[in-house]
Structure 1
Amino acid sequence: MVLTKRSTALQQVIRERRSVKKHYNDKPVAEATVKRLLEDAVWAPTHGVRQPWRFIFIGPDQAETFAGKVAATYPEERQQNRFEYLREPTAFLVVVMDEPESQKQWDENFGATACMIQNFWLLAWEQQLGVVWKTNSHIYNQEVKDILNVGENEKIVGFLHLGYFDEKPAKKDRTSAADKFTTFQG
């Protein structure tokens, strides 16, 4: 898509959004802010309006304790590194998805949840709240699932690391859609 001289606000936020992985400032991430953003984010497309997600918020007052618990699930030689890594965000939003037995419904649930996460990310960006979607190995760890009370038929889709920032991360160019586009010739 080629931007015209007058791009829309939506085009701009899509293109300006960045993954904010570190260098968060001290401004706390309020639970009320996250809930407000989620109220709009959940309007993502979802097959059968299943809305297969739920959320676990870890606020600034619990983030360090949470980081310690998750880091403790790693081998001892990696625990300090993982603790330091998990101390970087101001808060976390853990996104959990229902895992149905049907592969088709599983795929639909994952697609819907990914769309919802993108909605949340774009809405957060508009508020200068930095987000990065992390899928580190601990999201697959049963001990972490137990810490978060994730059920047997649920999947942690990711940890969204949250925090306000003073400086935008650098832009990374994208390959043009035209370079990846073909037309079926039956």
Structure 2
Amino acid sequence: MLNAIDQNIMGRRTIKKFKSDPIHTEEIIDLLNVAKWAPNHTVNEPWRFQLYTGAGKEKFVQAFLSAMTLGDGSIPQKALNKAQYFRDIPVHLVAIMPEDPRQRRWDEDYGAISSLLQNFQLAAWERGIGMIWRSNDWIYNPVFREAIGVAPGEKIVATMMIGYPQHVPEKRERTDIREKLQIISE
């Protein structure tokens, strides 16, 4: 029998089409305050966030367009279309972590912020808020990174596009875990 947590995990969907209804900043802050309880070795909280909302979304969009600008100064139509799509999304959250040169620390930090982002998605879904976790090529572009103030030695883990779902996709089946599980009992 599935409990409420099981149902929320299995019911959450990636949302790509959003209603235009605003998401209040305090709601995002509340959700992040819940999400921060993710497992985090040494509780070093290896994350920081940038929230783009209202007129502030244009800074995010302009950073994207700058990263998409070609050598001749033109911007491909596909990028212009994507920029309009970004403008129409109520909220953008950029999740950033420090890139520690020690591999173990880097792995632990990445695991912690990824866990936080999953908590954030699940807590938001419970409140009727959907999102898509994006890690497109342009987040690695130095032009985009500099335009939004991401310093060398920091990694953009995700750009979370957030809003109330306009459309919730059907679930896609997953492989039974028995096919991916090796049990060692002796």
Same fold (TM over 0.5): yes
Unaligned runs of 5+ in 2: none
Q: How does 1:37-186 map to 2 (within 5 A)?
A: 37-74=31-68, 75=70, 76-77=75-76, 78-184=78-184
> Post-superposition shift, 1:164?
0.7
1:8-40 CA-partner distances (Å, limit 9, x unpaired): 110010000000012x11210111110000001
Whole-Å Cα distance in 1 between the matches of residues 164 and 83 of structure 2? 20
In the other structure, the counterpart of 1:31 is 25
Whole-Å Cα distance in 2 between the matches of residues 176 and 89 of structure 1? 34
1:56-112 CA-partner distances (Å, limit 9, x unpaired): 000133224421331221132253133134234211000001111101110111011
Unaligned runs of 5+ in 1: none
Tell whether the 8 Å contact from 1:29 to 1:60 is kept in structure 2 after alignment.
no
Whole-Å Cα distance in 1 between the matches of residues 169 and 88 of structure 2? 15
Alignment coverage as a number of residue pairs? 180
**Structure 2 counterpart of 1:40, one-letter code:** V
Tell whether the 8 Å contact from 2:46 to 2:109 is kept in structure 1 after alignment.
yes
**Mapped pair 1:10 → 2:5:** yes
In the other structure, the counterpart of 1:20 is 15
> Post-superposition shift, 1:123?
0.4
Tell whether the 8 Å contact from 1:70 to 1:144 is kept in structure 2 after alignment.
yes
1:138-184 CA-partner distances (Å, limit 9, x unpaired): 11111111122112221000100101124422111111111111123
Whole-Å Cα distance in 2 between the matches of residues 79 and 167 of structure 1? 23
RMSD between aligned alpha carbons?
1.6
Structure 1 SS opposite 2:157: strand
What is the TM-score normalised by the length of structure 2?
A: 0.90
In the superposition, relative to structure 1, how do residues 166 and 86 fare at CA in structure 2: closer, same or farther (>3 Å)? Answer: closer
Whole-Å Cα distance in 1 between the matches of residues 132 and 57 of structure 2? 16
What is the TM-score normalised by the length of structure 1?
A: 0.90
Structure 2 SS opposite 1:173: coil
**Structure 2 counterpart of 1:41, one-letter code:** A
